[in-house]
Amino acid sequence: MLSAVLASLRPRQWIKNLFVFGGLIFAQQLFFPPAVWTALGAFVIFCGLSGAIYLLNDVADRDKDRLHPDKRLRPIASGRLPVPAALGAALVLIGGGLAAATWLSLPFAVVALAYVVLLSAYSAWLKHIVIVDVLVVAIGFVLRAVAGALAISVAISGWLLICTILLALFLALGKRRHEVLALGEAAARHRPILAEYSAALLDQMIAVVTASTVTAYALYTMSPETVAKFQTPLLPVTLPFVLYGIFRYLYLLYRRQLGGNPTDIVLRDRALLLNSLLWLAVVLVLLYGG
């Protein structure tokens, strides 16, 4: 039972909660121990809350997941984890997570509660509304970034929030495209909202979001506000890493027919993972080198 619950929490997906550390890094607090420990606490809380949302989502989708070649093996869909046990674990995680969030910081707790409410509404209703479904997923990433900044009481740039929601949209739309093509005629039976999408429509949306993401990041690195804050005009040198990362992901999506699980792509594709680490290393040198 315990292993089934843990599998349903999808630990590999917790990499998404690294957005919580955005405020810590870009507020130049990475070497300030109290802020680091607080950010780590915020990260753990969001891992618990996001795991609870996965449990609720798997309970709601258990019948449709049984029609999917891979998702039918999930503990709830396969019957290894009974629905009452899954719901109980989800309630415990949400209650404990929100209690811990309140102890950490009241503003942080408010955003954490907003995250739980929004993603619960997504599992129950919003994922059935075309376009809104991918927007809600993207907003979930923004709430992570905002919560991380509020936890350590620092401001987070509007540019970074824009880049976050655009990047999240890019990944969500890529996942939808993969599902539409991989499931074919069975797509609508597995996820009814997929009937509202087509590969051509998603290609256009991906093109718009891709261009917007690169443009927003480039403008952020060159804005006078950014230069004044970090006292360096060199952040544009990180743009090639962003371009390569996006182009590499598009290559994997269109040529390798991947994209069903963005987290697995980032973790398993060595070129993409190395590029991400190099981007982070260069950013840290530029932000903290002085």
For the chain, the domains span: 1-154, 157-290
For helices 270-288 and 239-254, angle between their N-to-C axes, nearest 10 degrees: 160
- Highest mean pLDDT: which range of 51-60, 169-178, 208-217: 208-217
Interatomic CA distance for residues 199 and 222, integer angstroms: 35
| Three-class SS state of 236 | helix
User: Per-residue pLDDT averaged across 159-172, rounded?
Assistant: 92
Interatomic CA distance for residues 206 and 169, integer angstroms: 8
Give me the long-range contacts of 268-273 (CB less than 8 A, separation at least 24): 272/245, 272/248
Residue 103: what pLDDT?
94
User: Per-residue pLDDT averaged across 34-58, rounded?
Assistant: 93
In sequence order, the 6+-apart residues with CB closer than 8 A to the CB of 108 are 42, 101, 147, 150, 151
Residue 49: what pLDDT?
94
Interatomic CA distance for residues 127 and 253, integer angstroms: 22
User: Per-residue pLDDT averaged across 165-175, rounded?
Assistant: 92
pLDDT tens-digit readout, 87-114: 899 999 999 999 999 999 999 999 999 9
Residue 202: what pLDDT?
93
User: Per-residue pLDDT averaged across 154-180, rounded?
Assistant: 89
Angstrom CA distances, 217 to 9, 212, 241, stand at 32, 8, 11
Q: Which of 115, 255, 261 is nearest to 174 (CA)?
A: 261
Token match 């982070």: residue? Answer: 280
Residue 188 confidence (pLDDT) above 80: no
Angstrom CA distances, 40 to 32, 35, 154, 257, 278, stand at 12, 9, 15, 35, 22
Residue 11: what pLDDT?
86
In sequence order, the 6+-apart residues with CB closer than 8 A to the CB of 67 are 186, 189, 190
Interatomic CA distance for residues 120 and 133, integer angstroms: 12
Residue 76: what pLDDT?
84
What is the residue type of 51?
A: G
Choice between 212 and 7, residue whose per-residue pLDDT is larger:
212
Residue 21: what pLDDT?
94
CATH pick for 1-154 out of 1.10.357.140, 3.40.50.970, 3.40.50.300, 1.10.287.1080:
1.10.357.140
Token match 């809380």: residue? Answer: 45
Residue 290: what pLDDT?
65
Residue 70: what pLDDT?
72
Q: How many CB atoms lie within 10 A of CB 257?
A: 11
Which region holds residue 35: left if phi is over 0, alpha if psi is between -120 and 50, else beta?
Answer: alpha
Angstrom CA distances, 168 to 78, 139, 161, 242, 262, stand at 30, 8, 11, 14, 10
Q: How many CB atoms lie within 10 A of CB 243?
A: 14
Query: For the whole model, what pTM was predicted?
Result: 0.89
Half-sphere exposure of 244 (CA within 13 A, CB side): 14
Interatomic CA distance for residues 101 and 109, integer angstroms: 5
pLDDT bucket at 83, cuts 50 / 70 / 90:
confident
Interatomic CA distance for residues 9 and 85, integer angstroms: 13
Q: CB–CB of 132/163 below 8 Å?
A: no
